[in-house]
Chain A
Amino acid sequence: MNDRAGEGWTRRRALQALSCASTATLLPGCTSRRDPEALTFWATGYEGDYAPHLMTAFSARTGIPVETQSLPGTAAHEKYLTARAGASLPDVMMLPSGWAGEFAMIGAIAPLPDPALAQDTFPGVMRPLTYEGRAFAMPWSVGSQVQFYRRDLLGEVGYDTAPTSWEGWRDLGAKLKRRHPDRYTMLMFLNWWDTLITFAGQAGAYPLRDNDTRGHFRTPAYRHALAFYVSLFADGYAPRVSSNELQDPLAAFAQGWFAIYPNGPTLLTDLHRRTSEIAAGAWGVARMPGPGGPGAVSAINNSIAVSTTTRRPAEAWALARHLTSVSSELRFQQMIGVLPARRSAWRSAQLAGPVLRPFAEQVEQPAMQPTIVEWERIRLEVQIIAERVVRGGLTIDEGLAAMDARVDALLAQRRRLVAAGKIA
């Protein structure tokens, strides 16, 4: 390290200068890296990749440069935690809404300076962003799982749109299996928890009890949801695959390997971009099926938070306001498909199409989810057990018992702290 710091001109720096010179016209951020004047912003996924497009307007208006860092979604949680422990959090950050309570608890993010910042949104959106009665993050985008379906494949067996009841899903599965025994009806990655949680929400099951200190999986509602989930694999309607096995699920969807792809709003962007593989009229969107038709579904929301360690809180909040403004949210919707968390943004004609109607209906009907710190881990570990049930290692009742046992163990420390009155 020492020999590098002392020299003015090293090979690395020469290469950097060279690459910056050649790309300076393409990448405005290249020469301004580690600009001490700049605010820093971290985000995952498309949001991280495309946020610089939102920053130009902010920088032009306020004169404050912003540096955006895009984080990989699978490593974001540990990245934020280690950054907090090492006091190197960015000024402003995107957080999946379920994490806001955790980061508020460890003092990483600051409460909203003005309660008005939490208004103009949908039901249930602020609940996970609130910790000990105070709001700690601004809603940015809303969404939930919906089913993307292939119109042509469903048409072959006599369906105009995707069924929205569990019974209907199984009927469709049976018909498609008869017609194409080597193909599948729906894709539900075995290492992703979203679909099982969606089903549980639809069935009206809440996974915890006793002030969120114990698992509550051995209930008729949860059993119903898990049994339905497992039956889709057992009957060959869904392939037993994990996300790392399928390099390009959208290509497989376009090739007709499966007909229904439960996913969130960002899939819209991919579908709009890859019309050469899958024509715009070949797919449709419907709400996720429930036991007796569509119902409450757990939300996939993202929010914007400001770190407690920012040296310029006023400017950081200005950036947070800018990112969550109606115009920024609409611009982002156009660019990457994420849906505005501001209710007033939905009055725009841009969001009026039939493709977005299922999302618009669904955001009004969110399922209640736990907001405790351990929830992120619980849903992962519950899915691990669900995967074992699907692969035949456990029966459904053994699986539910294992979920209760594992979740009780994960919540042991929370139980003790709640009993001692240290946390609510």
Chain B
Amino acid sequence: MTRQERSAWLFAAPVLAVIALVFVLPTLLALGLSVTDYSIYALADWSNLRFVGFGNFTDLLATPLFWRALGNTAVFAALGVPMAIGTSLFTALLLNDATVRWKPLWRVALFAPYVTGIVATAVVWRFLLNTRFGLLNWLLAQIEVAPVDWLGDPRWSIPAILLFVTWKVFGYNMIVFTAALATVPQDLMEAARLDGAGAWTRFRHVTLPAIGPTLLLATVLSVAGFLQLFAEPYVMTLGGPSQSTVTILYFMFDEGFKWWNLGQASTVAFVLLLLILSLTLIQTRIGRRYEWL
């Protein structure tokens, strides 16, 4: 080992130690739990604990609510990621325009939801989404659309929560995109304009390649975020109506902390870990193809 390598390890050691302590060790312990039938009976008496191998996994696959949660999470991610990233990118492009005034003000206003407490904002959104007195249904009534039972109808509960989540999180990626848009070469943009490229063509061939890596990063983080959706359904619907907003993490929380089936909950955690890991690998592979990494 050279002197340089030694000092590099030395500097990295504190971080590695923390990662080992708060990530690697708990993950290994959870892996250990996931092959046992740890439940409230084991809390009562350790001799009730059994090694079950893949038993939790096969039980999980036979649990209808798990599949329901998996499906709900897939819908949340499939709709939510494009919605959130699209909104972020759109607002970032708007704010990037030279004609917009008071840019810092707009940025703060649009970023504010991201840093506001989730419970407080959920209360406000529950009022907005109220079937009889909500602002959203009032607006719909103006264009003669019948009131929608946003949080009570299993068909509308996911879109309703997605509206809330999108509003809540888009500010973060908006700031990231704003920074990325500042790096788009202006001379290239002007050359394209002189060559007669329209707004869409310029976006497609000048802006997009320049912010590609940022877009990939935002997508990876958003997919991981949406797959771990928990707090929003927890405070808005408690997983209802008809379990239509139970996500994987929500399912895991209930299994683990509400019913103390920590063995089963650890298995869910591992399934989710593998899911996020594989999706991220696919995304990075796509990113490599476009030379965004």
Which residues in A have some Cβ–Cβ distance to B below 8 Å?
A: 74, 77-78, 81-82, 84-85, 102, 105-107, 190-191, 240-242, 244-245, 247, 373, 377, 384, 387-388, 391, 393, 406, 409, 413-414, 417, 422-423
| 20 A-B pairs in the complex with CB atoms less than 8 angstroms apart | A74-B238, A81-B40, A105-B44, A106-B44, A190-B241, A191-B240, A240-B152, A242-B237, A244-B151, A244-B236, A244-B237, A245-B152, A247-B127, A373-B40, A391-B242, A414-B41, A417-B41, A417-B48, A422-B47, A423-B41
Give bound CA distance, A245 to B148, whole Å. Answer: 12
If A81-B260, A417-B48, A422-B48 touch, does A245 touch B149 (CB 8 Å cutoff)?
yes
Beta-carbon contact of B48 and A387 below 8 Å: no
Inter-subunit contact A244/B258 (CB<8 Å)? no
CA distance A288 to B47 in the complex (A): 45
The residue that A78 contacts in the complex, of B59, B237, B257, with Cβ under 8 A, is B257
Q: Of all chain B residues, which has the CB nearest A373?
A: B40
Cα-based distance from A423 to B126 in the complex (angstroms): 45
Asked if B116 CB lies within 8 Å of chain A CBs, one says no
Residues A107 and B258 in contact, CB atoms below 8 Å apart? no
B binding-site residues for A, Cβ under 8 Å = 37, 39-41, 43-45, 47-48, 59, 62-64, 126-127, 130-131, 149, 151-152, 154, 236-238, 240-243, 257-260
Contact with B240, one of A105, A244, A373, A423 (Cβ below 8 angstroms): A244
Q: For the complex, what is the distance from the CA of A384 to the CA of B64, rounded to whole Å?
A: 12
Give chain B nearest CB distance to A250 CB in angstroms: 15
What CA separation (Å) do A393 and B155 show in the bound complex? Answer: 13
Kindly report which residue of chain B lies nearest to residue A406, judged by CB atoms.
B64
Which residues from B are CB-within-8-Å of A77?
258
A contact residues around B154 at 8 Å (CB): 391
Cα of A406 to Cα of B126 in the assembled complex, Å = 32
- Secondary structure dominating the interface of A: helix
Contact A85 B43 (CB under 8 A): yes
> Given A373-B40, A413-B37 in contact, is the A242-B130 Cβ separation under 8 Å?
no
Known: A384-B243, A387-B242. 20 other contacts (CB 8 A): A74-B238, A77-B258, A81-B260, A82-B257, A105-B40, A105-B41, A106-B40, A106-B43, A240-B152, A242-B237, A244-B151, A244-B236, A244-B238, A244-B240, A245-B131, A245-B241, A247-B127, A391-B154, A414-B41, A422-B48
- Identify which of A74, A107, A387, A388 contacts B44 (C-beta below 8 A): A107
Knowing A241-B152, A413-B37, the reply to whether A191 touches B257 (Cβ < 8 A) is: no
Distance of B128 from chain A, by nearest CB (Å): 12
- The 6 A-B residue pairs with the shortest CB-CB distance, nearest first, are A245-B152, A78-B257, A106-B44, A105-B44, A106-B43, A78-B258
